[in-house]
A and B are shown apart, each in its own frame.
Chain A
Amino acid sequence: MSFIPKPKVTHPKLPRNALGLTERDYEGGVSTLCAGCGHDSITAALIQAVFELDIPPHMLGKMSGIGCSSKTPAQFVSQSHGFNSVHGRMPSVTTGANAANNELIYIGVSGDGDSLSIGMGQFAHVIRRNLNMCYIIENNGVYGLTKGQYSASADVGSKAKKGPANRQMPIDPVSTAIGLGATYIARGFSGDKKQLVPLIKGAIMHKGFALLDIISPCVTFNDHEGSTKSYAHTRQFYHHVIDADFIPPAEEIVADYEEGGAMPVELHDGSKIVFRKVDKHYDPTSRAAAFSFLRDSIRAGEIITGLLYIDEETGDMHDLSGSVDRPLAKIPYEELNPGRETLSKVMQRYR
């Protein structure tokens, strides 16, 4: 058996969320990734975020493609529904799932190979549809399961364990998403859970397509000297620039931010994201500003993290196509069938 269920360790004093569940209730199977893998830290952050958001486990759809990252949905919230699809095609499956039932919360977990190579087309088009989902790329610049080939996000000059440095231009999912029109764009680092949890929460609660690119070093194939996606490199060049806090709908914003430095943005359900900015002139609601800021930082060799862009105005796929609010999958058949009389009227057109 390759599936190892995690032994459930509970303690009566564990904190409980509004549903009366503990964080333990949101765990999944034991990870089968390498010890020290950045992905496991992301899984832990996801568990905390979903727990704190009081999401009923069975109302969560965990979607993925193929690769190390795509295995992780089996490792969180085992009481939810997982769909581990085919390589690079998770966006289309999630599109269909959401088309049928807009009541569920969708978290897609993908990798740099899954999203930026084989799935680049689907990644681009799910953004165009502004599908209401949280889309996480666990980005390590390398193919792990097939033993260490460069991925499309590998930086120029980055060195694999063996062989020459990469010379092809990388695809940066964040700049790509800004260009394609994504409505929530953030970057995090698997080694910074404190920053990651509010970014995940915001991404889940955002109504529309939320991209969360998370630098997640591969300890086996891409954590050596010369790699630009190693723990050491990321920690050195990583700039915690635009930070964000997630505030649930009912809570007041406690302003402990410097004047001019904080900027609350209200989400669809009344919850708020509060930006804390190092650069006072940065405007996270301006796509152009986000794009040029990001370009400058890439040129400077910096890894900018935080919530980079948000647009709460654009409607999601259902708004754009004008669907009813109810989940289509739950509309009774009687309401969907035009009936015999209508059919006989339709027949008159074909005589």
Chain B
Amino acid sequence: MPKFVLLATDLALYFQLLVLLAYVRHAVRTPLLRQSWRYVQRDGAAMSAAVVLVIFLFIALLDSVHFRPRLPPAPDAPPGAEIAYSTRTLSVLDVLLTGPRESREKTYSVPLATHQFSKESMQRNGVTVRDFPRLQYGGKHLDQPQEQWAGDVLRRTVNGLGSGLLLALVGAAWVVHRQSRRSTQGFMPSACDVWHGRTALPWRAIGGTLTALLLVFGWVAALWPFYHVMGTDQTGNDVLFMCLKSVRTAVVIGTLATIATIPLALLLGILAGYFKGWVDDGIQYAYTVLSSIPSVLLISAFVLMIQVFIDKNPQLFETGLERADIRLFLLSAILGLTGWAQLARLLRAETLKLGELDYVQAARAFGVSHAGIMRRHILPNVTHIIVIVAVLEFSGLVLYEAVLSYVGVGVDPNTQSFGTMINGARNEMSRDPVIWWTLSAAFAFMVALVLSMTLFASAVREAFDPRARAYRVRPAAAQALPQESAP
């Protein structure tokens, strides 16, 4: 058995997953919540985004199970000797992607390349020449890379895309089959329904997204074992692998920082709105002070504090990974601690409104305690705001991480993140020939993550805040089909 390592952010992610599952269970059982989420389920864009998000979340979770592998016993070790564990902490994702992780080149190489990006002096037939050396891993199965490369890549591409498409077709057939079973009509009419988007769940949008993802997945799966699909970076690391590792950091920051804002914002927002008077004045003053300090500076002050703490207590952390991880954890906590003003303001306004309503007045007349009223009558009626803000914040935080890393107060330099990738890649654009792949890869992953979250968030907002539905674009053609008439 390897030795499992529980990092602070791992625990936080597991905890959030539990909270999420508990919320899902609660939402399924509560008719009103079920109604709201059904609105999200009917939204094609939101469901497509959800598919992408689930995949990102899955990657992040795979990357959050850490352990230190057991080392093979030394040859001369006596039986029953203490088991030695590697000093490197790996995650399940690392193990699944052992190939790309360990196939480290010397320096830059173009995506799918067989040769290095820059020339090197080498001995050939006893003469020193400057040429592009072969890569150690990328395309090493080819004997004559010049002649074989195009054919090999093409063959594998076709194979990969073909198997992706095949999987997608099988999946589509299964969906249509289930639809036809449920609606008791034939296979072809059901297929037509799905194709024209006439199903309760937007299967057409979901299927489209899944097909696209499967095609990409098939292509990557066919080529990655043999080439660096997105090239390598300055120190020869596989860029696609780096992107996948960055997903976890983005997800941790996005979710953890949001969760960290909630307790403070909830407590202070409701207190301010409920008690009014000097409590309100005090809390308003506190968040005005906090929000008037430029957030980058506030965060950098806190981050310096963390750095001092980490430097002073090196004995607390066994490995470098733990040290980097605690910084990530504390950074998220700080983002939460400094970012509660906006949510508190919204909660305060809502509580002010609720406090005047008859049922709250009635509860007060019946002598329910202040704490009781806030817990039983106000809290449940402001949760929708929390849900809306939580999903809206996520995208902003992922983008913010990149900025913070650029300023130098973001994650630990050893933590793989989109911010550190962009930061490392920004000078490459001025090189000639230009090194475009690191930045493009980080760009693609970030846009996919943030865009899906934005789309999902806007549907959630419309679901929980019916006023927001008025802002929905309904092009003339779509207007003919009213939104609510889906079966």
Chains A and B are bound partners: no
